[in-house]
A and B are shown apart, each in its own frame.
Chain A
Amino acid sequence: MRISSLNDQEDLGTLLAQASTGAPDALASLFRTYRTMVFGIALRIGGSPSDAEDVMQDVFVGLPEALQSFEERGSFEGWLSRVTTRVALMRVRRARFWRPLRASMESVADPQRLDVVIERVEIEQALARIPNRLRIVFVLREIEGYSHAEIGKLLGISKNTSEVRLFRARKKLRKLLGGPP
């Protein structure tokens, strides 16, 4: 679990209340606790460290006002994860309008290694090389644990499209990672 220092709901509630007023100390505390989660989501969805930095900055600039709408009944981590996901998706969408998708795909792994344990770092590298629309579905489903119905709602696509994109993402990753033909 990512949260180590804020398991106490009462402490978290106090911290969130302080952060909602824009108190820098409270924001810094939340940043320290959730930084890897927020950055990880932004990076995996956006595929670029610089975009992920911008997303992360935007999230923490907007967090105090957003917290005023946060209902304590839910998990803060889940809420922050969803908010970060949406901000990152918006950035990708904006970029998609202007930028061509990544042009070519080359294998990043030895095609003979059919049955090796897939190293995480290879996955990160391969993920960054597949088209945005496929990577996003893969990240949301396999890493963030969303269902296809939730992904459909989040991305404004049908559940069926989400499934198809996941298959295609895996297919591309299989090629890149030298998986079975």
Chain B
Amino acid sequence: MSRTNRTSRHPSERTLHRFADADLSGSPAERVASHVSVCPHCRARIRFIRVLGRAASDGVEIEPPAGILERALARRAAGERIRLPLNDPPRLRSASALARAAILIIAIVGGIFAVGVRELGAFRSDLSFQPSRPERGERIALTYRADPGMAEQQELRVRARLRSKHDENYNVGMKTTVVATLVRTDDLLFRGSFTLPDSIVYAVFAVETLDGRIVDNNGRRLWELSVHQADGRPIAEALEQRSSDMMGRNWELAFESAKELARQYPSDPHGLSAVSFFEPLALGTTAWSDSGLPRFQERFAQLNRELRDRQDLDGDALQWMMLAARGAKDSIASEHWRTALLRRFPHHTQSLQLHIVYDILVPHYKDTTRVLHELDSVWTVVEHEPDKGGPGYRHLVRQGLNFAAGTRDADLTIRWAERFLAVFPSLSTEVAARLAAIPTLRQRAIQILEAELDRVEAAPDEDRPLEMTVEENQRRLEIPIQRLSNQFGRVLLDDGQTERAAESLQRAVNIGWNTKVFRSVAEVQLELGQASAAFRTLARVAADPTTTASFADTARERLGQAFDPSSWEEHVRTARETMHRRTLRDATMRSLPERIRLVTRDGTTRTFREITNSRVTLVVIWNRYCGEAIQALPDIGRLAQVLEERGIAVVIVAEQPPSDDLYEFVRERGVTQPLYHDTRHEATRAFNSWGTPEYFITDELGRIRFEYTDLFSALRQAEALTEEIATTEGSQP
């Protein structure tokens, strides 16, 4: 190319900019200079770039609005602390990985209690997998770009919930395991690896410090890994297990995963069956929507035609076709697939279920001996099956134990109890309850409960939910420990071990806060003649905000002469203080942005702070298209009424925009409170809400004090918070 040609051709946009920035040197710079000297167009562009830069950096000072300093000082005075980012954030891979908030907060209030560092969710940490679409049994390289909260660590560990083909819905009883240690290789970069076990099809992960005191759970979403096929599709079992894992965590994603299964594997009946299972759940109905059923029936009919005469389908496929036929309300097809399943795969878990229900329980349920004989025969046939997952086995042992315990025959009961434990090792307390009712088996019940208490108290790490730190898990375990202590105490009492019984029951009273347990313990204390202990326990029941005012009469009646009216109120007051103290142990403190804008029914925009108006507030993040959220509406409506009567605000944040239909929908389900519409997603973002419904309680300064709580605890928590505020204000000069 001649020099003339080079000079006459316009430089690339990038070269021109680099020239304007004086970032170009040598012959490239000379070439551009030559061109510019003869090209008014490029000259104008360069001039523009330079003028723009100079004008922009001209140092014009912009005065901030008034009041910022005052608000900042007020936040500090209220105990708020923010950890500012002093290091550059890690390099991130995608926009979607940049979601979480930035600032870590330490809050210390009034010296009453201190809470740990909390994230507002600044920049999102990231756990990546290589390969990201592994096949079964592959070695996985892990790279973790750390949350700043992990900045001081040299090593971290990755915990996982590993799911194989037959793992159950929800995550109750699912074990977790440490799969890898990550070693720091860069400022905020950690690396490690592990081998995916062959049986695993889907897994979720969290990253934590070696002592488990800081957990990065990816904003409770966790990180996911699915096993893929060579063609790049996730295997069907991975999508199934993803649905199972999301159940109770995020119903929308559970449904999405089912739909993905149906899309990716249109000839796999499980996808269709799963869609029919999840759609009503996602819509919060018990049946198909009017528009959904015909569409589904059409798809089912097509698949039914394709598969009806196939002889190579496995037991699972026959099962899913049967269930899909039920979903499509096609009784003829349902019968066809049921018969085929029973004939071709009599030991399939679904076949067992059908056999137990239709051939044993329905015709013979009044004949206990016959039922037990038949169930025993079934067990003899299947007891050596290696995999006892699925509904059939569960049904078999549960019915066996029910019928056996009903006979009060010790041999029969213990036989079925051991079978039950073989299938449901995590439900030992259910077995203990059955055994305790038969005097000769009570020692075995005591043994089981003692072992279970030891196990729960030891807080095995494999039982710790991935989302929780060690401390959070300890607090979570208070609930089963309290329940077990109560059950254990009652069995000991029946066994005549009164001293141990009293000790165990007292323990149940001293841990956590549960009026049901308190009532139960008080009854036992009365049986033991411990009237003053029962008096104190009943005062705890009276102190709970869910207990009616007339409970004092009930207590008087139960305690008789031991009821001391002069000290009753004092005991209730003390119990209330204990309740507040225990409740506030679970409190957190997380600031919310100054401005969270919500839209009212008439389209007006109001900020969260304007709405709450310095009141303690229950915030409900709600979604019209989440079954669980819809089912919660009547309870939300009732609780909202009670809270409002006590001066506690309720803000129901709907993810949908306002519409008459929506208001009619919630009103029909008992909610008459106004909805606030999160059309800008500012509330869901600020609260770091992922699934719905989610409940939060904020204080008078608009800070989150209880997060991801439940309706059952909300009243007690809101009351404890109100009391704390009143005490703090009262103690100020």
Interface residues of A (CB under 8 A from B): 2, 22, 24, 27-28, 31, 35-40, 43, 49-50, 52-54, 56-66, 69, 83, 86-87, 89-91, 93-99, 114-115, 117-120, 123-124, 127, 138-139, 142-143, 145, 153-157, 163-164, 166-167, 170-171, 173-174, 177, 179-181
Contacts and interface: CB of A to CB of B under 8 A. Distances in A.
A60 B45 contact: no
Contacts of A22: 76
Given A87-B84, A98-B681, A40 B61 contact: yes
Contact of A39 (B64, B84, B99): B64
Interface of B: 13-14, 17-18, 41, 44-45, 47-49, 51-53, 55-65, 68-69, 71-73, 75-76, 80-86, 88-92, 95-96, 98-103, 106, 121-123, 593-595, 680-682, 684-685
A143 B56 contact: yes
Contacts of A24: 73, 76
A61 B76 contact: yes
A179 B44 CA distance: 8
A171 B594 CA distance: 35
A142 B680 CA distance: 31
A28 B71 CA distance: 12
Given A57-B68, A98-B682, A142-B57, 20 more contacts: A22-B76, A27-B73, A31-B68, A38-B64, A39-B68, A52-B64, A53-B68, A58-B82, A61-B75, A89-B89, A94-B123, A97-B98, A157-B91, A167-B13, A167-B17, A170-B49, A174-B48, A179-B44, A179-B45, A180-B44
A40 B57 CA distance: 11
A91 B14 contact: no
B86 A94 contact: no
B69 A166 contact: no
A54 B591 CA distance: 12
B45 A180 contact: yes
A90 B85 contact: yes
Contacts of B85: 83, 86-87, 90
A115 B51 CA distance: 10
A115 to B, nearest CB: 7
Contacts of A58: 82, 84, 103
> 6 shortest A-B CB distances, which residue pairs?
A90-B102, A62-B82, A156-B91, A39-B64, A97-B99, A180-B44
B62 A99 contact: no
Nearest to A86: B85
Contact of A60 (B14, B49, B57, B72): B72
Nearest to B53: A142
Nearest to A117: B51
Given A54-B594, A99-B680, A177-B52, A61 B88 contact: no
Nearest to B55: A118
Given A53-B68, A56-B68, A163 B14 contact: yes
B685 A98 contact: yes
A18 B242 CA distance: 54
Given A156-B90, A157-B91, A180-B41, A142 B52 contact: yes
A63 B41 CA distance: 49
A61 B128 CA distance: 34
A86 B61 contact: no
Contacts of A28: 69, 73
B702 to A, nearest CB: 13
A54 B52 contact: no
16 contacts: A27-B73, A31-B68, A50-B595, A60-B68, A62-B82, A90-B123, A93-B123, A94-B121, A96-B95, A98-B684, A115-B44, A118-B55, A119-B55, A138-B56, A142-B57, A143-B56
Name the prevailing secondary structure of the A interface residues. helix
Contacts of A66: 83-84, 86
B629 to A, nearest CB: 20
A65 B83 contact: yes
A94 B685 contact: yes
A108 to B, nearest CB: 14
B89 A94 contact: no
Contact of B86 (A50, A69, A89, A119): A69
Contacts of A127: 56
Nearest to A160: B14
A166 to B, nearest CB: 7
Nearest to A169: B52
A89 to B, nearest CB: 7
Given A53-B65, A94-B102, A164-B14, A154 B83 contact: no
Nearest to A32: B69
Contacts of A86: 84-86, 88-89, 102
Contact of A145 (B14, B57, B82, B594): B57
B102 A87 contact: yes
A43 to B, nearest CB: 6
Nearest to A79: B86
Given A115-B44, A123-B52, A54 B593 contact: yes
B44 A114 contact: yes
A53 B84 contact: no
Nearest to A49: B65
Contact of A63 (B84, B89, B684): B84
B594 to A, nearest CB: 5
Contacts of B121: 94
Contacts of B14: 163-164, 167
Contacts of B103: 58, 62, 87, 90
Contacts of B86: 66, 69, 83, 86
Contacts of A120: 55-56, 58, 60
Contact of B63 (A39, A63, A91, A154): A39
Contacts of A142: 52-53, 56-57
A30 B462 CA distance: 50
A91 B41 CA distance: 39
Contacts of B98: 93-94, 96-97
Given A61-B76, A145-B57, A166 B17 contact: yes
B13 A171 contact: yes
Nearest to B82: A62
